[in-house]
Amino acid sequence: MIGTLWRWRATAMATAVTGLAALLRFADLSHPKALVFDEVYYVRGAYSLLTFGYEGDWGDDEGRFVQGDYSDLKTESDYIVHPMVGKLLIAAGMRMFGNGPFGWRFAGALLGTATVLIVALLMRRITRSTLWGGVAGVLLAVDGVHITMSRTAILDVFLAFFVVAGFALLWLDRWRAQRIYDSHPADTVGGFGPRVGIRWWRLAALVTFGLAAGVKWSGLYFAAAFMVLFVLLDAADRRAAGYRHWLSATALRNALPGLAATLIILPAVYIAQWANWFATDGSYRRHWAESNPGEGVTWLPAPLRSLWSYHVSMYDFHKDLNSPHPWESHPSGWIIQFRPTSFYFERVEDADCMGDGCVQAITSVGNPLIWWAGLAALCYAIWRFMVRRDVLGMVLAAGTFASWLPWVPFAHRTIFTFYAVTMAPFVVMTLTWALQRLAQPDALEGRFSRRRGLAVGWFLVATLAVSAFFYPVWTGQSIPDWYRDIHVWLPTW
């Protein structure tokens, strides 16, 4: 009876959280009927993939594309500096729902909603609480960075989905291994402990990380960070189970097989998503090897040598990119949303906007309460780890660091705060962990503190109110100038 009630509560929570996320992401998804920010590159690239199988060159007049005039598309290939997966997902939405704003934004809204569901279910398992799983899901559902990116057909929300899915799969792999360790006490098995068998969840995680890298190369940062992290956690689990040779067992039965699987699966999945590039003669640099005999990595087959040359060129482009942009930002300010990105701005004539001047604006600023409290939660996680050896907070914060720190050496190039959409799920999970610690302090052994529980409750109410206040700015609704101005909480906004 208790198990049935538990499952029904989890089902109700997951349904409610997913419904809220879907409502905020799909409502009026066709607005604005324009190419928003970098949609100009990825949407037109997706249309070209549907038309030619490769990305052809477009003219500079994006307005004709929005009006349904695709005559600017040339058969000559375009120089593209990101892999295919995100654009193929955008193209899938366009195939299903037509070449319009809803079609090209559908996949992002869908996978953005799915990310919220994954976070809710994952935090339910981690915290062993349906309540706290629901809190995590709601916080991500109402965050502005995640809402804005889910409603815009650019690549980063797809990267966030695959990264979170990979993290969740690794957690399921760990949970399965822990159950095996628990059922095999140290005094009943050898010093190495039991064999876990084929780790299917981890293999599935490697596939998702390969797809993440196929959206943007920064997916590799997460793959490296999470694979190392979960090997360390496995070592800690084996040691906690009392196995005498826990370190050797981790190295031989986890780390080395995991490294071998990573070196095989990640490249295989990544190269597989270039299938249409291999299959179409018109793809950019497709026949570079034939035109440049004896150059490049000569021991590779000609198609792979051409692809490698293309990737070297892409790397040089990203490394040296330094095109000043009014909304670029330093990664040190991402977690406090110091310089959010303005995606869209249009003055409109709208008698219903309650002001003399009306505007439609989309700014990818996160909910300030979530992100500012998230920074406090991150500091708390570091403190708990250093003082009380509480590892969980740092495990959840690992995604924040993997989203954040690799960009610091590239702070000289043009980068934007909206890259932090991959950080958002981990900020939310770390914040939820901290709120649970606050509401259910260690001294009460899992029971709620009335005073602290009320404080957390009021924080959540305030967060929902702030999201309602910012939602018009996240979705480009017609608002008066004065209403937009009162959303500028920092001069850098």
Model pLDDT for residues 187-208, shown as the tens digit of each residue: 788 788 888 889 999 999 999 9
At residue 89's C-alpha, the angle toward residues 88 and 92, to 5°, is 85
Token pair for residue 102? 């809803």
**Please, what is the angle between helix 130-141 and helix 424-439, to 10°?**
140
pLDDT tens digits, one per residue of 375-415: 999 999 999 999 988 999 999 999 999 998 888 887 777 78
For residue 257, count CB atoms less than 10 angstroms from its CB and return exposed for 0-12, middle for 13-18, buried for 19 or more.
Answer: middle
**Secondary structure element (H or E) that encloses residue 110, with its range:** helix 101-127
Instruction: Give me the pLDDT at residue 288, please.
Output: 87
Instruction: Give me the pLDDT at residue 3, please.
Output: 53
Please, where are the H alpha helices in 252-366? 256-272, 275-279, 288-291, 302-320
Q: How many CA atoms lie within 13 A of 112 on its CB side?
A: 34
CA dihedral 32, 33, 34, 40 (to 10 degrees): 100
DSSP 8-state assignment for residue 294? T
pLDDT tens digits, one per residue of 159-171: 999 999 999 999 9
Residue 441 confidence (pLDDT) above 80: yes
pLDDT confidence bin for 101, thresholds 50/70/90: very high
Cα dihedral across residues 276, 277, 278, 280: positive or negative: positive
Cα–Cα distance, 147 to 21 (Å, whole number)? 8
Backbone region of residue 197 per phi and psi (left: phi > 0; alpha: psi in -120 to 50; beta: other values) = left
Residues 275-291 as b/e (b if ≥16 CB within 10 A, e otherwise) read eebeeeeebbbbebbee
Cα–Cα distance, 370 to 368 (Å, whole number)? 5
What are the φ and ψ backbone dihedral angles of 113, each rounded to 5 degrees?
-65, -40
pTM: 0.93
Q: Where are the domains of the chain?
A: 2-154+325-485, 276-320
In this structure, are residues 74 and 57 in contact, taking their beta carbons and an 8 Å threshold? yes
pLDDT confidence bin for 296, thresholds 50/70/90: confident
Cα–Cα distance, 65 to 146 (Å, whole number)? 27
pLDDT confidence bin for 6, thresholds 50/70/90: low
Q: How far is CA 341 from CA 219, 289, 419, in A?
A: 21, 40, 10
Cα dihedral across residues 167, 173, 178, 181: positive or negative: negative
